[in-house]
Structure 1
Amino acid sequence: MKKIAIIFSFLAIQFGFSQKIKKAEVIKDNRTTEQKFELDKKQKELFNGKFEQFMTALKASDKKTMESLMSEKTKSMVTDKVYENLSKDINFTRKIVIYKTGYKSFMTGENFPMIQYKYADDQAKPDPKEIITAVFEENGKIMGIKPYKQIK
């Protein structure tokens, strides 16, 4: 009789702790997974115009104009030394043309419009030796400019 009681209590405990099966619910996700890879013509014109204004101000060392074109997020981090290094790394005598456009992803998960520029006389294949990357906010304010030189 004790064996039957032990077996019965064991089975009762098993049924008591067993999981209940729930019906799976389908949740509709309204987020879009489509990601743009290129900037449209209107965006290119806006961002390129702001970049050209910034380059003109950088060439003339017009700090007030440069700060007016910069994003509030980055304005506080940029010092005179940064402007000085940027003007040293960019060759103002060579013509700059758009190389690529797209979006730059940050660690926060945000995507910002980006334009990469190359010098018009740089014919290196498959990629140019010198690239200037400019990242913008949607309103056209400049978040950052980074010159890159490929060294072999």
Structure 2
Amino acid sequence: MKIKMLGILLISQFCYSQNIIQTDIQGKKLNDFIQFENKLGSKVVKTDEEYISFEPVLQPVIFERKEKEIPNLRVFYKAYKTDSVIAEILYEWDVYNFDKGENVKKPISFNKAMIKKYEELISEVSKKYGKSTQRGDLKKLELINSDDGLERSDEWNVNNSLNINSDIILSEYYEKNGMVTTTPTHKIRLYVKNERKEDDVNALGKEKIDLYTIEFLKFLEKLKTSDFAGARDLLSEKIASSTTDDMLKNLAENIHFDKQIDIFMTGFQLVNDGSQYPMVQFKYKEDVSPPKEMITVLFEDNGKIIGIKPMKRLE
């Protein structure tokens, strides 16, 4: 779902292997992997649009690692909303991430380097979990220039929760046939998935949700009457002094004070510095589901507001 951002956003020790990928993800939290990527010197990849997921996982956090002969690696981390435990990691080497051209072709040396990388990945995972279930192979290099392309996929069902699967697609074939265009493809993907059933019990707890709701309603009342000093008293010390009257006025312009609000979703949300805060997402009572407008509010544990973000769904 595409969301337009409005108003303002106020805002352990982890053992890891030196391998290309991390497969020991069960029970590990998102912040552990953020620290790991920071140690590697990875670059955070920011997107222009934000997407709200109605699945039990947060929007992915994306990092980029440098490569020499093949596209830079992008790592996508998805975490469960309730406790920030990792749900899925996607490792992706894809030319299209860096060149959106319709007919991007690469020399045979590049394709061989991609095959070598894929074989390294398969070897790394197989040493730990045994032989994969394999489909296709990478022996016939001449297929790269055909409409079939050169493809292989592998899968490891480690246990009831942990699943690893990978694939590589290499093709230099380009064809336009009416409205259908077949374009060259050069990509490797490897997914590490930690699947689990989400409990119906809310991680925040009723007592905390009640506290956060009361504090937000107090904030709205101050905002409605332009009592900006009183509104700032309800903000976290981390943001209160830097929140200006103009910022609060702008926020007030994007809130419908004449409408009642309901709780739409609760959980935890990660911010840019890797910190995680309790989150309550409000919708207007008259709005249907999925709502057209929402207000996401982040809190400190004591109920002080650390972030507010009104959003509108783009039709």
1:63 matched residue in structure 2: 228
The answer to whether structure 1 residue 121 and structure 2 residue 293 are counterparts is no
Deviations 1:93-114 (A, max 9, x none): 1111100001011232221001
For 2:309 and 2:272, locate their aligned partners in 1 and report how far apart those are by CA, in whole Å.
17
What's the CA shift for 1:76? Answer: 2.2
For 2:272 and 2:312, locate their aligned partners in 1 and report how far apart those are by CA, in whole Å.
24
Note the 1:1-152 alignment, pairs <5 A: 33=28, 37=82, 38-123=203-288, 125=289, 127-152=290-315
SS at match of 1:65: helix
Give the alignment's Cα RMSD to 1 decimal. Answer: 1.7
For 1:81 and 1:47, locate their aligned partners in 2 and report how far apart those are by CA, in whole Å.
24
What's the CA shift for 1:80? Answer: 1.2
Partner AA of 2:292 in structure 1: K
Partner AA of 1:70 in structure 2: L
What's the CA shift for 1:64? Answer: 2.1
Structure 2, unaligned runs of 5 or more: 1-26, 30-79, 83-202
SS at match of 1:49: helix
SS at match of 2:226: coil
Partner AA of 2:302 in structure 1: N
**Alignment CA distance shift 1:36-1:118 (3 Å):** closer
For 1:99 and 1:71, locate their aligned partners in 2 and report how far apart those are by CA, in whole Å.
23
For 2:235 and 2:281, locate their aligned partners in 1 and report how far apart those are by CA, in whole Å.
17
Partner AA of 1:89 in structure 2: N
Deviations 1:29-60 (A, max 9, x none): xxx74777131001001111100000011001
How many matched pairs?
A: 119
Partner AA of 1:149 in structure 2: K
**Alignment CA distance shift 1:141-1:88 (3 Å):** same
Partner AA of 1:96 in structure 2: I
SS at match of 1:53: helix
Scaled by the length of structure 2, the TM-score of the pair is 0.36
For 2:312 and 2:242, locate their aligned partners in 1 and report how far apart those are by CA, in whole Å.
23
What's the CA shift for 1:81? Answer: 1.2
Scaled by the length of structure 1, the TM-score of the pair is 0.73
Instruction: Considering fraction of residues, name the structure with more strand.
Output: 2
For 1:33 and 1:139, locate their aligned partners in 2 and report how far apart those are by CA, in whole Å.
26
* Higher mean displacement: 35-44 or 56-65: 35-44
SS at match of 1:81: helix
SS at match of 1:39: coil
For 1:66 and 1:121, locate their aligned partners in 2 and report how far apart those are by CA, in whole Å.
26
For 2:271 and 2:248, locate their aligned partners in 1 and report how far apart those are by CA, in whole Å.
23
Q: Percent identity?
A: 40
